[in-house]
């Protein structure tokens, strides 16, 4: 966790932001690239035309979720959104912030081996570019992330218009910050509407989850009892529940790091 803390600790405006490679330390630590086809990353490829890329990947890991990734400073800032984005401003969708991902992840579609971190099928659900909703540029995006109040406008095929990401006081079961993803009231808002049930195929290949090689249900992946416990934790995180104390989170982080050093891996982070 120390490297991630360092990456997140760099203040906007201090003139010395961490490199993409530094920001991806935790991403690399969690993966065995001899076993997964996921990219190692480290490139600083920017989106075409100076626009910031976004991607949403449907991921049937321990628990089905949608990974929202926003380009910033050479990496993809990432959130796991269990229910995916909604076009209805009345919906508040939990979005658990996970480790920064490499830009190269934006084209990843396929299957992460069972038993590996995040094992399961990944489908490219939507992609395009995004901007600060009030045209504040990258500085306003950095500031929004820091303050826990990030307003963005999506220019995708399926997700359009303004949304806000608001950080809550809660944490995911791995101690990650929890946010809420909420649609703004604009011409793209649809009261009572939904997106994830309408769009179930890959934006890139037109394939379904089954065709990519996995299953749309989570039970195929990880049948060990300790993973079911992790899944239950994650589901619990969907509901408003009492926040963990800082001491609890620190204890869990220390335990997770101890497991990481022992090379046995944790159970809590399988969903990222
Ligand atoms: Mn994921």
Three-state SS annotation for 102-141: EHHHHHCCEEECCCCCCCEEEEEEEEEEEEECCCCHHHHH
pLDDT at 272 over 80: no
178-231, pLDDT tens digit by residue? 999 999 999 999 999 999 999 999 999 999 999 998 544 433 333 333 333 343
**From the CA of 268, how far away is ligand 1's center (Å)?**
13
pLDDT at 200: 96
Cα–Cα dist 24/123, whole Å: 22
Contact by Cβ (8 Å): 138, 241: no
Query: What mean pLDDT comes out for the span 118-124?
Result: 94
**From the CA of 57, how far away is ligand 1's center (Å)?**
7
**From the CA of 269, how far away is ligand 1's center (Å)?**
10
Query: What mean pLDDT comes out for the span 119-138?
Result: 96
pLDDT band at 49 (very low <50, low <70, confident <90, very high): low
CA atoms within 13 A on the CB side of 253: 16
pTM score: 0.73
Q: What does the DSSP 8-state code read for residue 99?
A: E
**From the CA of 13, how far away is ligand 1's center (Å)?**
30
Mapping DSSP to helix (H, G, I), strand (E, B) and coil, where does residue 40 land?
A: coil
């Amino acid at each position: 966790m120390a490297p991630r803390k360092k990456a997140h600790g760099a203040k906007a405006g201090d003139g010395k932001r961490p490199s993409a490679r530094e920001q991806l330390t935790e991403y690399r630590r969690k993966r065995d690239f001899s076993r997964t086809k996921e990219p190692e990353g480290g490139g600083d490829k920017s989106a075409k035309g100076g626009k910031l890329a976004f991607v949403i990947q449907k991921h049937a890991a321990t628990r089905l979720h949608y990974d929202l990734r926003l380009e910033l400073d050479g990496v993809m800032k990432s959130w796991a959104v269990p229910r995916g984005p909604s076009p209805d401003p009345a919906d508040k969708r939990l979005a658990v912030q996970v480790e920064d991902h490499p830009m190269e992840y934006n084209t990843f579609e396929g299957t992460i081996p069972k038993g590996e971190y995040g094992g399961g099928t990944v489908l490219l659900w939507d992609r395009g570019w995004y901007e600060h909703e009030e045209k504040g540029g990258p500085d306003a995006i950095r500031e929004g992330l820091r303050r826990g109040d990030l307003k963005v406008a999506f220019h995708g095929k399926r997700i359009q218009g303004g949304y806000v990401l608001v950080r809550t006081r809660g944490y995911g079961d791995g101690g990650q910050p929890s946010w809420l993803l909420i649609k703004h009231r604009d011409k793209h808002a649809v009261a009572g509407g939904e997106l994830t049930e309408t769009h179930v195929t890959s934006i890139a290949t037109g394939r379904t989850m089954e065709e990519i090689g996995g299953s749309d249900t989570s039970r195929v992946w990880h049948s060990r009892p300790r993973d079911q416990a992790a899944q239950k934790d994650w589901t619990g995180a969907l509901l408003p529940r009492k926040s963990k104390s800082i001491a609890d989170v620190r204890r869990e982080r220390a335990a997770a790091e101890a497991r990481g050093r022992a090379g046995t891996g944790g159970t809590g982070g399988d969903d990222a």
